[in-house]
């Protein structure tokens, strides 16, 4: 299996190389040259398997010969051993025909653990075998950072630097990033918003001297291995509701378009998905794009669902690549136009996108209202991101079962939940003392040279 760049101008890589690299050298994102498919019989055979067994069957064809079957099984088993639910991704029912896929039973209580725990094991295996070390730099709107730190802390051949927007993540998200005291973990609070963090990360990848010098690796949601890990729960949840014999729909709370793009891959692989619904908060660039065909940046307005406070939705580039008939030149041109703030999608490409995706948005007031309504109607306590999904999911109910993804545990966002329903959600017992642990964090300006120097110094000290 070969991986190619969405901008058509970077070397083809193997799965392992694409995973260790992250962003392509032409600024594009890696995608498989062709999407492997599963027959209805293959999909039906997932019924009754453990999450790990299903994960192996779904992901195996994408990995090629990077790992033997046995190695890959061990990697998967280790990745999900730390989850606190035997089903890993349990499905609960909210209402007739509406289901919630709980993706928050991993070590940092957000769905990011599904991909990051796997990537941690994959990196460790690959780097040990190649006797190499890497520097991971990640930008986070809150949950990626803690998931990455949890997955890579304590590893000898990895340094992990996480850039988060100063003052714009919840207390618990910040504590999860700043309280680990491993020498290879570096939490950096940047003066700016999430898009600034993401832009600085891209700049580092485009500075080839720095990139090669520190052996920069990216684990943001642009990393193909992360998208791949997320494909699995679309299959397991659909199969438990009767796929492939019955169609299902999904609503996905969306920021960087990684999670919903994984759903699109599941569909391309053969999973009978009727609708894939993009749910955004008030930062609704994706919803506006689906309505108007124009992708236009607007400022980020901080919301109660901070992990979706995004304007530049990186993985959307992968959907554009397919919608433009896999024309890397066309995608490169759109991204060039975006430097001035916007681009317009061709009519043909828009039709393809609308064939696969619908969209909706939830305001702050609607999000809060859904948290209290769902608590009253079925006893489920939703985090604000999941509530955005449930609001939009409800608007898209039909005869087909709707599965809305619950992306974080409510206790990660206690203030919003308390505001909505008057009671404060409690952290799981293993995190009880987190709020009292000492923090290790460095405040940094929104300046590339400053960041690169700091990273080089920290690595040299180890």
Ligand X SMILES: *Cc1c(COP(=O)(O)O)cnc(C)c1O
Helix boundaries (H) for 45-141:
51-63, 69-80, 112-130
From the CB of 110, what's the least distance to ligand X, in Å? Answer: 4
From the CB of 4, what's the least distance to ligand X, in Å? Answer: 22
Nearer to ligand X, 192 or 255 (CB): 255
Give residues with Cβ within 8 angstroms of 399, minimum separation 6: 97
What does the buried/exposed string (b/e) look like for 181-199 if buried means 16 or more CB atoms within 10 Å of the residue's CB? Answer: eeebbbbbbbebbbbbbbb
Q: SS3 helix, strand, coil % of the chain, rounded to 5?
A: 50, 15, 35
3-state secondary structure at position 300: coil
Residue with tokens 């190389």: 17
From the CB of 111, what's the least distance to ligand X, in Å? Answer: 6
**Distance, CA of 303 to CA of 280 (rounded, Å):** 11
Is 112 considered catalytic here? yes
From the CB of 244, what's the least distance to ligand X, in Å? Answer: 25
From the CB of 262, what's the least distance to ligand X, in Å? Answer: 8
CB of 350 closer than 8 Å to CB of 386? no
Nearer to ligand X, 381 or 408 (CB): 408
From the CB of 278, what's the least distance to ligand X, in Å? Answer: 9
Nearer to ligand X, 126 or 407 (CB): 407
CB of 327 closer than 8 Å to CB of 8? yes
From the CB of 236, what's the least distance to ligand X, in Å? Answer: 18
Indicate the DSSP class of residue 427. P
Nearer to ligand X, 267 or 385 (CB): 385
Question: Among residues 112, 200, 267, 391, which one is catalytic?
Answer: 112
From the CB of 394, what's the least distance to ligand X, in Å? Answer: 18
Nearer to ligand X, 121 or 221 (CB): 221
CB of 231 closer than 8 Å to CB of 150? no
How many Cα atoms within 13 Å fall on the side-chain side of residue 276?
A: 25
3-state secondary structure at position 348: helix
CB of 164 closer than 8 Å to CB of 190? yes
**Distance, CA of 90 to CA of 84 (rounded, Å):** 11
Residues near ligand X (CB under 6 A) are 110, 112, 143, 221, 253-259, 307-308, 385, 407-408
**Distance, CA of 43 to CA of 374 (rounded, Å):** 32
Please state, as a whole number, how many other Cβ atoms lie within 10 Å of the Cβ of residue 60. 15
Nearer to ligand X, 230 or 240 (CB): 230
Nearer to ligand X, 32 or 106 (CB): 106
Helix boundaries (H) for 224-357:
224-240, 258-269, 285-292, 316-323, 328-338, 347-356
Nearer to ligand X, 161 or 257 (CB): 257
What is the β-pairing status of strands 158-165 and 357-361? unpaired
Tell me which residues are annotated as active site.
112
């Amino acid at each position: 299996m070969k991986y190619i760049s969405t901008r058509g101008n970077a070397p083809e890589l193997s799965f392992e190389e694409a995973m260790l690299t992250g962003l392509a050298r032409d600024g594009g994102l890696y995608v498989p040259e062709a999407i492997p498919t599963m027959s209805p019989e293959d999909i039906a055979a997932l019924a009754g398997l453990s999450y790990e067994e299903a994960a192996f069957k779904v992901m195996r064809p994408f990995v090629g010969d990077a790992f033997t079957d046995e190695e890959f099984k061990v990697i998967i088993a280790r990745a999900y051993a730390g989850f606190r639910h035997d089903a890993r991704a349990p499905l609960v029912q909210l209402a007739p025909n509406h289901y919630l896929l709980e993706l928050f039973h991993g070590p940092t209580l957000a769905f990011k653990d599904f991909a990051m725990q796997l990537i941690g094991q994959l990196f460790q295996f690959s780097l040990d075998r190649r006797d190499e070390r890497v520097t991971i730099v990640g930008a986070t709107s809150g949950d990626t950072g803690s998931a990455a730190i949890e997955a890579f802390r304590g590893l000898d051949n990895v340094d992990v630097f996480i850039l988060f927007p100063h003052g714009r993540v919840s207390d618990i998200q910040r504590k999860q990033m700043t309280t680990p005291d491993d020498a290879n973990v570096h939490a950096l609070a940047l003066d700016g918003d999430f898009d600034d963090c993401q832009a600085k990360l891209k700049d580092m990848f485009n500075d080839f001297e720095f990139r090669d010098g520190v052996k920069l690796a990216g684990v943001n949601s642009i990393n193909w291995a992360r998208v791949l890990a997320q494909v699995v729960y679309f299959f397991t949840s659909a199969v438990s509701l009767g796929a492939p014999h019955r169609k299902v729909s999904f609503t996905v709370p969306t920021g960087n378009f990684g999670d919903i793009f994984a759903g699109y891959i599941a569909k391309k692989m053969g999973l009978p998905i009727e609708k894939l619904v993009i749910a955004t908060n008030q930062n609704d660039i994706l919803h506006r794009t689906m309505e108007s065909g124009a992708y236009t940046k607007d400022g980020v307005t901080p919301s109660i669902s901070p992990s979706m406070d995004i304007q530049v939705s990186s993985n959307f580039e992968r959907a554009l690549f397919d919608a433009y008939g896999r024309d890397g030149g066309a995608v490169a041109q759109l991204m060039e136009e975006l430097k001035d703030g916007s681009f317009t999608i061709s009519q043909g490409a828009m039709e393809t996108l609308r064939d696969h995706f619908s969209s909706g948005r939830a305001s702050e007031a609607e999000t809060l209202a859904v948290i209290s309504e769902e608590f009253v109607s079925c006893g489920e306590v939703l985090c604000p991101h999941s509530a955005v999904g449930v609001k939009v999911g409800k608007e898209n109910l039909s005869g087909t079962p709707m599965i809305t993804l619950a992306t974080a545990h409510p206790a990660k966002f206690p203030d919003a939940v308390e505001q909505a329903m008057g009671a404060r959600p409690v952290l799981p017992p293993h995190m009880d003392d987190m709020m009292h642990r000492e923090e290790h964090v460095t405040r940094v300006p929104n300046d590339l040279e400053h960041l690169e120097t700091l990273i080089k110094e920290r690595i040299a000290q180890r």
